[in-house]
Amino acid sequence: MKTNEIRSRWWGRSRRGVVVNGLLALAVVSCAGTSTPVASGEPEPAPSVPAQVTVQPQALVFSGTVGAVGTAQSVTLRNPGTAPATITALDVAGPNAGDFAVVGTPPLPWTVPAGTAVSVQVRLRAGTTVGVLQARLQVDGTTSSEVALNGLRAKGLEGENEPPLAQIVQALGFGVNVGTPNLVLGTSAAPVGDEVSVPVFVRAAEGPVTLTPVARYSPDGAVPFGYYQPGSPAQTHVTGTLAVGTHQMLAPDLSSGTVSFNPGPGAFGVFLPANGYATQATYTQDALNTGTTKHGVRVYPLKDAAGVIVAHAYLLAFELGMNGDYQDADFVLQNVQPAQVP
């Protein structure tokens, strides 16, 4: 199952997310009832709509390493109007404009007929700047629009080459204080930054809970994940597996399973079973962790880029080893609220 919409395009696809104004924001999916009008007399002609150019998505997020060229990703430029629109310029601007490139576009200007769309591709260039990269794709013509471009470039693969959790959340557009800008947070159970002591949850509203992988910086190999009901023993349910080969990146792909599940009305936690490099399972409840690191997950209320809390959403940062960087596997858990440990 392909889920890499960050690397970057998955927000807005199967993972129930959208990207707005440079923020990777969680989607609130709702359905509103509408009444069906009763036709009478002659149908009225469709109103004219001014020509314009809209962009989708409104942000892209890339990840890579020093010297590596990123995978190209698409932006759709649509004209919902009833007259042709023109695109006269596609420019990358902003603090790190030189780290991004528009690729494979024919000579401008373009004419976009009414009700149609064209696409352009953007990629992360091979570069040496390490850390969070920020720019924007400026689309000019009949109307003007822009696409926020965020990137995260690591020094290399694994170990001290990996980006710290603070850079990961910044690149994703989350305003979460993880406790330190450094790679190592430590493994103490004492909360750091915005962390809260919430080991178990309940569903906040009817509908599925979503557990979306947003980052993975750990050794390669398949990584199952899921939820459990507390008890003796805990009742575990694997819902998905992070794919082999997606081990040093934002938005790792799934090789199987899904990001949504129905935990029922009771309390539940989140866990990662043992895998090829972690010999023990890791739970959101410290008491269930049998390895050297007892505080295996740091839980943060999710915040948007402005620092405003996103309702019923949490960032779960997993430490599967011992160094305390808490970016071995990171998830956004949605449609939940804190629960009492049974």
pLDDT digits (tens, 9 = 90+) for 136-152: 999 999 999 999 999 99
CA distance 310 to 320: 26
Q: Is position 63 within any domain?
A: yes
Using pLDDT thresholds of 50, 70 and 90, give the confidence band for residue 16: very low
Across the chain, how many H-helices and E-strands are there? 1, 24
- Do 210 and 124 sit in the same domain of this protein? no
Q: Is position 184 within any domain?
A: yes
Q: Is position 39 within any domain?
A: no
Phi-psi category of residue 73: left, alpha or beta, with phi > 0 → left and psi -120 to 50 → alpha: beta
Q: Is position 101 within any domain?
A: yes
By three-state DSSP, how is residue 97 classified? helix
Q: Which two tokens stand for residue 293?
A: 């690191």
Per-residue pLDDT, 18: 38
Report the run of H or E that residue 333 belongs to, with start and end. strand 329-334
Report the chain's mean pLDDT, rounded to a whole number: 88
**Residue where a domain stops, chosen among 91, 120, 154:** 154
Identify the domain containing residue 228 by its residue range: 161-338
By three-state DSSP, how is residue 54 classified? strand
85 Cβ neighbours under 8 A, 6+ residues apart:
51, 52, 53, 79, 111, 112, 114, 141, 142, 143
- Do 24 and 165 sit in the same domain of this protein? no
Q: Which two tokens stand for residue 13?
A: 């696809």
pTM exceeds cut of 0.85 = no
Q: Is position 216 within any domain?
A: yes
pLDDT digits (tens, 9 = 90+) for 29-83: 222 233 333 444 566 666 888 999 999 999 999 999 999 998 899 999 999 999 9
- Do 67 and 100 sit in the same domain of this protein? yes
For residue 133, pLDDT over 80 is answered with: yes
Q: Which two tokens stand for residue 326?
A: 């808490």
CATH of the domain at 107: 2.60.40.10
pLDDT digits (tens, 9 = 90+) for 82-107: 999 999 999 999 999 999 999 988 89
Per-residue pLDDT, 48: 87
Q: Which two tokens stand for residue 30?
A: 């709702």
Partners of 201 in beta bridges: 268, 338
**Residue where a domain stops, chosen among 154, 185, 217:** 154
Q: Which two tokens stand for residue 231?
A: 């008890």
